[in-house]
Amino acid sequence: MIELEEAQRILLGEVPVGPTVTVKLRDAAKFRLAEAIRCDVDYPPFARSVMDGYAVKACDVGQVPAKLRVAGQLPAGLDSPLVLRAGEAIQINTGAPIPPGADAVVRVEVTKLSDDGLHVEILESVPAGKFITERATYARAGDVVLEAGAMLSPMNMAVAATAGAAEVCVYRKPTAAYLVTGDELVDVDARPSGAQIRNSNEYLLASLLTAAGIEAKSLGVAGDDPAELRRKVEAGCEQDVLITTGGISMGEFDFVPRVLEALGAEMLVHKIAIKPGRPTIVARMPGGTWVFALPGNPLSALVGYELMVRPALSRMQGGDGKAAREMQAICDGELSAVRDRQTFIPAVARVNDDGEWAVRLLSWFGSGDAVGAANANALIHRPAHAVAVTRGDKVSVMLLPHSMDV
């Protein structure tokens, strides 16, 4: 058994970054950039109006009211055919190019157009430059607008589009498969009879991977049978990542470690000093597939995913490979002292009325209790040998990024 920090260090030392691919920008949302994006033109490409109103010479409207001749109209998208001369105004719309000769824009709200439309009365003075965005205010051609490593968030998609990045070089998303194991499992549409229980992990893993933007293939359920397990693990080895649950404890029917070893797995991590999640395995298969064999209980599987799978997926996609960040939050109840393993407890985190993070404890019966963990969006993280917590104490909390209700 090794400490969590050691397991994560081994993992990040071994998991490779990349490979990279070039994709169309519209297919690149949520990918991480492998190369910086530079703006291909000055931005904005021309001096443009910020307001609907009149392009003027500021010196013509130093004294107000000022009566100017309306020399024409400039909607957005039209290259100005006009040159503004002294004593003139040109009707201009937001986003339209500033005509040569103009050096300010007066908002339409502080003007009065004559009934014949030939003159406009300007009621407010403006300094030169007012309501004009000069060419290249935002970026010059060749400027880096997004660094390598930036994630293509919705805002960054807009930045990339602005910069003319029709194709972008990003880290490829790993392909993944997941497999749950156990003779006792029945699917959601069956009523468990006798010694059966419902297969909740398949839904847990499917939604974790979907939320991570990874297309993952379900290999269904493998019974506790080495031959069947081997076949399914082999099928999973066609992907970059295979996640399994169950079958890794000390029981006679826990065949997963033996099957992995029989297939030539290099067991990089086997047993971590965490609770729940102790039996977690990280293995590299001869073909390069990364196998994360997580324990069977749903909360153990979730903890193993957050602590090991998420960092690995992040690293493969050019991220920093860190587990979700932790913060301090006020605990609303009591927690007993911790023994020798770092401990993770599902909880509901929220910002309280004073603007501080607080966590609500759940009525939870341990790692097999998915029901008690309903609505959990965080894990309280208690260090090994931590003393008991009383209501109002601060505890360390890891938000579950895919579970935040925002």
Tell me the closest approach of the beta carbon of residue 241 to ligand AMP, in angstroms. Answer: 18
Q: Are the C-beta atoms of 169 and 317 separated by less than 8 Å?
A: no
- Three-state DSSP class for residue 175: coil
Return the residue of 180, 299, 398, 400 that touches ligand AMP, per CB under 6 A.
180
Residue nearest to ligand AMP (CB): 296
Which of 85, 114, 119 is closest to 102 using CA atoms?
85
Return the residue of 99, 174, 246, 321 that touches ligand AMP, per CB under 6 A.
246
Tell me the closest approach of the beta carbon of residue 296 to ligand AMP, in angstroms. Answer: 2
Tell me the closest approach of the beta carbon of residue 321 to ligand AMP, in angstroms. Answer: 26
Tell me if 260 contacts ligand AMP by CB under 6 A: no
Residue 56 or 293 with smaller CB distance to ligand AMP: 293
Residue 92 or 185 with smaller CB distance to Mg ion: 185
From the list 13-21, 185-193, 244-252, 285-293, the region that binds Mg ion by CB under 5 A is: 244-252
Total residues at interface with Mg ion (CB under 5 A): 4
From the list 3-11, 16-24, 171-179, 243-251, the region that binds ligand AMP by CB under 6 A is: 243-251
The Cα 260–Cα 175 span in angstroms is 19
Burial of 52 per CB tally in 10 Å (0-12, 13-18, 19+): middle
Whole-angstrom CA distances from 186 to 21, 28, 183, 205 are 40, 37, 9, 16
Tell me if 184 contacts ligand AMP by CB under 6 A: yes
The Cα 25–Cα 285 span in angstroms is 33
The DSSP code sequence of 338-360 is P-SSEEEEEEEEEE-TTS-EEEE
Tell me if 298 contacts ligand AMP by CB under 6 A: yes
Residue 197 or 351 with smaller CB distance to Mg ion: 197
- Three-state DSSP class for residue 311: helix
Distance of CA 129 to the CA centre of its chain: 39
The Cα 12–Cα 268 span in angstroms is 11
Return the residue of 59, 86, 158, 197 that touches ligand AMP, per CB under 6 A.
197
Q: 54: alpha, beta or left, given left = phi > 0 and alpha = psi -120 to 50?
A: beta
Tell me if 280 contacts ligand AMP by CB under 6 A: no
Tell me if 298 contacts Mg ion by CB under 5 A: no
Residue 98 or 294 with smaller CB distance to Mg ion: 294
276 binds, among ligand AMP, Mg ion, none (CB under 5 to 8 A by kind): none
From the list 24-32, 50-58, 67-75, 181-189, the region that binds ligand AMP by CB under 6 A is: 181-189
Tell me if 53 contacts Mg ion by CB under 5 A: no
Q: Find the binding residues for Mg ion in span 167-226 (CB under 5 A).
A: 182
Tell me if 247 contacts ligand AMP by CB under 6 A: yes
Tell me the two tokens of residue 180.
């749950």
Q: Are the C-beta atoms of 239 and 177 separated by less than 8 Å?
A: yes
Type and span of the H or E element at 85: none
Tell me if 246 contacts Mg ion by CB under 5 A: yes
Burial of 22 per CB tally in 10 Å (0-12, 13-18, 19+): exposed
Q: Find the binding residues for ligand AMP in span 351-370 (CB under 6 A).
A: 368
Tell me if 346 contacts ligand AMP by CB under 6 A: no
Residues found near ligand AMP in the complex (CB under 6 A): 180, 182, 184-185, 197, 199-202, 245-249, 251, 254, 295-298, 368
